Structure 1
Amino acid sequence: MDEIDKLLAEIQNEYTQAPKSQSQSQRPNIRTFNNVVSSDKPIGLDKLLADVKADFDEKDLAVELQRQQELEAKRIRVLEERQKKRDALKQQAQIWLSELEPLSPEGLWFESFSQGYPSQLDAAVEYLEGLEN
């Protein structure tokens, strides 16, 4: 029986060692997992991050464009309001000039005041604008 016991022991050793070596080679270890994860990371995660960054950049550009358009619209509105005010003052100045007596003290004063301006109308507009402020 000794020989049978030896044979059984050998077979048992082979049998128990074979699955251990097979299972070690078949089981993924931490290095294999890290290699898989790190190889997927640049492809998947970097692409995702690049897409998210591109989306944020696009939204930021859209917001900036909107802000610039609003500022430009406001600037145009302000210029139009100034022009309307200037036109109204011009009309008032024409009326004021038509009613101004040239030989009155105010007329004589205005004559000397308007000498620094290209026209009496421009001087009258500036004068009336100064009275409003």
Structure 2
Amino acid sequence: MSDGEKLRLDKWLWQARFFKTRSLAAKVVSTDGVRVNSTKVSKPGRMVSVDDVLTFVQAERVRVIKIAALGTRRGPAPEAQALYEDLSPPEPPKENRQSANPAYEGKGRPTKRDRRKADLYANRTLE
């Protein structure tokens, strides 16, 4: 595709492998909204071109993407990664992220004796 050509936003997001299906990309654009050059867009048919900057939320992370090329197909991952430049802020280190389910800090599964001790300790602190 040449520099003057344009492509639908949902189709480009699908080709660049940000979303597994094109309908999922269209749903994210229409419900959550995507910013194209800092203008909120809610229609998946919005045309985008090279050098446009997209801002959207993907898996609880804000993504800032600059379109480097328009694809002709949904190819393999290395081909898809050549379609954009990632301008997103770096993710925080793993130790700073909060976990919804903290892991057991011992080795393996606690024994019945360990559970009794934990229950006994929990009951003492409540009284």
What TM-score does the superposition give when structure 2 sets the normalisation length? 0.23
What TM-score does the superposition give when structure 1 sets the normalisation length? 0.22
Higher relative contact order (CA 8 A, sep 6+): 2
More strand by share: 2
Larger radius of gyration: 1
